[in-house]
Structure 1
Amino acid sequence: MKKLLGILTLVTLLQTSPVFAQEAATEQLPATNSDYIQKVVEAKLMDNLPDGKFYPEKLISRAELASILVKAFYLDKRQAAKQEKAIIIPDVPNYYWAYQDIQTVLKTDIMKGYRGNMFFPNQKVTRAEGLAIFAQAYGVFQFSEPTVNEILKSYPDQNYIPKWARRAIATVISEGFINTDTDGNINPLRPMTRGDMAYLLNKYLERQQKQPQMPIVPGIL
């Protein structure tokens, strides 16, 4: 009886609280496919942790995101990254493991600091933040607002996407990089995991692969 009452209470909460429903849906993401993780590791865009395991459920920090994006998009090769003057970041000393990558994402304007030039390198990112920053490095398509709304309308939780991230996430969707849960939700407010990032990177790698040339058929111009 107690178990039944508990289930009924949960159902009631899901029906009456959109925020709770948004959070509950995050537990329904599909199981991680080790193939795409392996491809991303082999491409040296992400690494296994010191014990040799990937831990796809582990959350991504801002410092980790910066490091991944520098490698994926060769941000250190961009002209803006080559400016010699360092950006003063009080919470990222020059001996910090991701110092140079953080300097690069700030100089190229792919990521931004907070008030007081703080970066908060250990802060976790939401999926909306991670997807939007990825799109910033990739190149945000300048879709009109009606086009953005059209792209996003098929996702049940699209109203949870922050306004500032909608165009960027529409870009990621249009390029086929997005992953959703079993109900088709983007879960923009859920923290981004290493598995999420590996999926995104793998789709990006697939896009970068050279497309096969059109076969030449004899006798046809």
Structure 2
Amino acid sequence: MNNRFGRFAVITIVIVLISGIFIQHISADNGAPFKDINNSYAKNEIIDLYHRNILTGTSATSFSPTKSITRAEFITVLDRLLKLDKAVSPVSPYTDVAQKAWYYGWIQAAVQLELANGTSATTFAPVKAVTRQEAAIWVTKALMQTNHTSALTSFDDRKEIASWARSAVATVNDLGLMKGDNRKNFRPADPITRQETAVLIDRVLQNESWAAELEDEPEDHIVIGWQYAQTTAQYENTVLKSNVNTLSPRWYYVAKSGAVTDSTDASLITWAKKNNKKIWAMVGNRSDQEATHQILSSATTRNTAVNQLGALVSKYRLDGLNIDFENVAADDRAYLTSFITLLAEKMHALNATLSIDVSPDLGTDWTDAFDYAALGKQVNYMVMMGYDEHYDGSKLPGPNASIPFDQHAVDTVLKVVPSHKVILALPLYNRDWTLNQNGTVSSSKYISLSEQNQIISNNGMKPVWNESLGQYVANYSKQSIKHTIWIEDGRSLIAKYHLSIKTNLAGIAYWYIGGESADIWPSLSNAEKFYDYTF
């Protein structure tokens, strides 16, 4: 090719490409995406929100600006504003929200975060128009502006505003988000139109601090994922789908002699470093009380275990250890503290993290060995195992991890251990309770969340949300025998995650990776985003 011709051809192509990009950019910015918004007072807002993927039309070419917006459409707009993902949980209390409906995941996302409620315990009314006072409530919840106490003095029709909406209406008015008409009426029971919705959302984004919040990445918290019943490859694959940033594989067990078995998988260490994950390898006692007594009660065996664990941390360059000693005798309380004190000194010298798993203090000998205050001074983190509220052997059925149970566990440990050292462990498993005729337990079956969801589906169970427990409850019968499940799902786990945020804990942990159903991670990702906002 002639060089002059080649240079000319290249220059011509570049000019054409640049011109094409410029023309396309101008068209995208100035051209209206819908044919019916030219006369709308919200034209600019509609175009902007369309390009932000917050608002869509009623068809490919129509926006229908004066049409009322439905409850499903409005909640979808709020979800997109908050950068939430659809939550596809198979557990829903609403009989009128089909799982195949386009809005199912958007409604679930809002309901799981307590941003929206149904019109009853079993109905959401997704295609019903949103009233202006309902919109006010949902917006104040989305923006966490629920503490305003302004009086409603500016609207002539204030007496028509429902008692349950007065605070929200006052709030959105004070914030300049929703105003009355020219006659100073708020029109609380009127449906909010699609163009009114566009103006409302645009006003939210005009608030610079709120807009900045929506663009920020969530703050990092510790998220531990314990490995159990999965191969290394399976574990890695699941972790990549999750929000887990700290791996805890079951690699080490301490024998009664103090010797530590080494099951380290070096490939996981390599993978963790490549994927920016930390490893706090788990150290167990196989729940053997007698062997644990021999380990802890002898200075010689304590030193043997500590030295071997230190050598393993050095050899594999581990980030830390997670001590999981269970079924420790109450009489070994001081010995356990001595062991952890010695191990903490070793870990700190190696610049490694030391964490210990503890059970909730229910006044039983199961937890007497854990001196929260003394252990809290030695370890970097104390992991509160917030589950097994009811367990195999319980005489009465009940939830695995209700909110009151976890709240009590956290409150108790926070009396003696600072919040920045506490991690709350959440369950990715559950129990299916088989009941006697008098309601007592006949037996219980340990189930993963996927197995739980299959049981719910197979038996057509109708979950009912229990606000005080923070869980759905559902029953079914098999061969005339009653079964009950206190369900763990995205909504219940988010409620416990929110507890960790409200109490300023260092993070959360999951027992166990692989026990979850596929819908759990998007739900928890939504919680991470939403509860990180500080509007």
Instruction: With the length of structure 2 as denominator, give the TM-score of the two structures.
Output: 0.30
- Partners of 2:120 and 2:179 lie apart in 1 by 32
Residue 36 of structure 1 aligns to which amino acid in structure 2? Answer: E
For 2:147, the equivalent position in structure 1 comes to 142
**Seq. identity, %:** 28
After superposition, where does 1:1-221 map in structure 2 within 5 Å? 32-76=41-85, 86-144=91-149, 148-149=150-151, 152-207=152-207, 208-209=210-211
| 195-204 or 159-168, which deviates more | 159-168
1:9-58 deviations in Å (ceiling 9; x for gaps): xxxxxxxxxxxxxxxxxxxxxx6231222222222211122241221111
- Partners of 1:114 and 1:127 lie apart in 2 by 15
Residue 50 of structure 1 aligns to which amino acid in structure 2? Answer: S
Q: What residue ranges of structure 2 are gaps of 5+ in the alignment?
A: 1-39, 213-535
Residues 162 and 202 (structure 1), Cα distance of their counterparts in 2 relative to 1, 3 Å cut: same
For 1:18, the equivalent position in structure 2 comes to none
Contact 2:93 2:121 in 1 (8 A): no
The SS at the match of 1:184 is coil
Q: What residue ranges of structure 1 are gaps of 5+ in the alignment?
A: 1-30, 211-221
- Partners of 2:211 and 2:121 lie apart in 1 by 41
- Partners of 1:142 and 1:64 lie apart in 2 by 26
For 1:7, the equivalent position in structure 2 comes to none
Tell me which protein shows more strand as a share of its residues: 2
Task: Choose 1 or 2 for highest CA Rg.
Answer: 2
Residue 110 of structure 1 aligns to which amino acid in structure 2? Answer: L
Contact 1:179 1:196 in 2 (8 A): no
Contact 1:128 1:188 in 2 (8 A): yes
- Partners of 1:75 and 1:184 lie apart in 2 by 35
Residue 76 of structure 1 and its aligned partner are, at CA, apart by 4.0
Q: How many residues matched?
A: 171
The SS at the match of 1:115 is coil
Residue 114 of structure 1 and its aligned partner are, at CA, apart by 3.6
Residue 209 of structure 1 and its aligned partner are, at CA, apart by 4.3
- Partners of 2:103 and 2:97 lie apart in 1 by 8
For 1:13, the equivalent position in structure 2 comes to none
Residue 116 of structure 1 and its aligned partner are, at CA, apart by 4.6
